Amino acid sequence: MVDVDVPVVVGLDNGGTSNNATVLRLDGRFLVDGLVETPSEVTAGPEVAIEALARAFDGVLAHTGVPRDRVRAVGLDTPGPASASGVISSRGSTNFAQSAWHGFDVRGALERRLGLPVIYHNDGNAAALYAHHVHFGADATTRSSVAAIVGTGLGGGVVIDGRVVTGAAGMAGEFGHVHIPLAGLLAPGQPEPQCACGFVGDAESVASLTAIGRNLLPFRLAGNPGHPLSQEPPARAAKLLRGYAERGDPLAREVFAQQAAALGRLFTIAANFTDPHAYFVGGGVVEATPEFRDWFLDTVRAHTVLREEQAALATFALVPDRDMAGARGVAIAAAEAVRPAAIPPAVLID
């Protein structure tokens, strides 16, 4: 039975096709164990999309039986790039391509629509925050971590003392666009990879689904024309690659080993900037078979160069609950804003 007298916050994770919502009591208990999804309608423009977020908010309250007057704040995440205050980049982004989205204050618009404080993070930061709190529990406010979230691009986040580092313009933790050393990473004859942002040799140009389709897989297939994936359209081949890797296909494993090595080089850079207690990897790899997940994380660890003192303290782990991590992460951020004291470890209840 839900205690409706306990104050709550709502977390809203905005995606390209769906909004996922959750409810977190201020005593640290999530009231949703699973996905509560509704259409995001972002392609219909800001006005329609804000109404879709409002419906997601109302829907999750109805799902949990929590009265609206118990809600103290709302957490919102969207894909970046966006400012720390939730203003979409003036150049738009993958999910916000329409000109009406460019420079749009999505946080402020939702706050006005709901009449409640809205706390914003991009989706990489939200997942990083959730991973941090789940991993460290009651010790979260005295620990630090970095997270790399591998998807269409490469997102991430830096968490210090239990709080996301956003930076002056909200661009902290954009690990995808950190340049990594390419010497020894690329195979003989492999072209220097170019990112969609225009950079050459940043982490996203190797460790992302886009990198597989644009850079890594075409190179491997050029040298292996008899491979079954060479008969597939490039975009479909890139999506099928993980299944081949899970089954131990040598070419597919070579591609993912290169991605894991790139993440290790990225974490090596992070180790010298933030010296975190934990390194998290998230994204599609979390949904893979246990053997592949373990192999991939072990490969990342093997390519992360730490000093002896760092290695004795650092842990490597996967971001848990991939589909729920964003909503839960911004719910934690909203709860922190309402009640700055440390949030107890989350306990799922009916």
Q: Bigger pLDDT: 199 or 261?
A: 261
Q: Which CATH number fits domain 137-319: 3.30.420.40, 3.30.70.660, 3.40.190.10, 2.40.30.110?
A: 3.30.420.40
| Interval 175-187 mean pLDDT | 93
Residue 147 above 70 pLDDT? yes
Range name among 6-10, 164-168, 223-227 with the lowest pLDDT average: 164-168
Beta bridge partners of 318: 281
Query: Per residue in 131-153, is it b (16+ CB within 10 Å) or e — as a string?
Result: bbbbbbeeebbebbbbbbbbbbb
Is it true that the peptide bond before 117 is cis, omega within 30 degrees of 0? no
Residues of the chain with CATH 3.30.420.40: 8-128+326-338, 137-319
Q: Bigger pLDDT: 75 or 283?
A: 75
Residue 221 above 70 pLDDT? yes
Q: Bigger pLDDT: 341 or 200?
A: 200
| Interval 60-64 mean pLDDT | 97
State how far the Cα of 335 lies from the Cα of 75, in Å rounded to an integer.
8
Mean pLDDT score across all residues of the chain: 91
Q: What is the pLDDT of residues 222-242, one digit of tens each?
A: 999 999 999 999 889 999 999
**Among 148, 172, 184, 135, which Cα is nearest to 266's?**
148
% of the chain residues with pLDDT over 70 = 95
| Interval 276-295 mean pLDDT | 93
Sheet holding 315-318, edge to edge: 163-164, 154-160, 144-150, 278-283, 315-318
CATH architecture for residues 8-128+326-338: 2-Layer Sandwich (3.30)
State how far the Cα of 297 lies from the Cα of 302, in Å rounded to an integer.
9
Q: Bigger pLDDT: 265 or 155?
A: 265
Beta-carbon contacts of residue 92 (< 8 Å; ≥ 6 apart): 98, 99, 101, 102
Residue 314 above 80 pLDDT? yes
Q: What is the pLDDT of residues 183-196, one digit of tens each?
A: 999 999 999 999 88
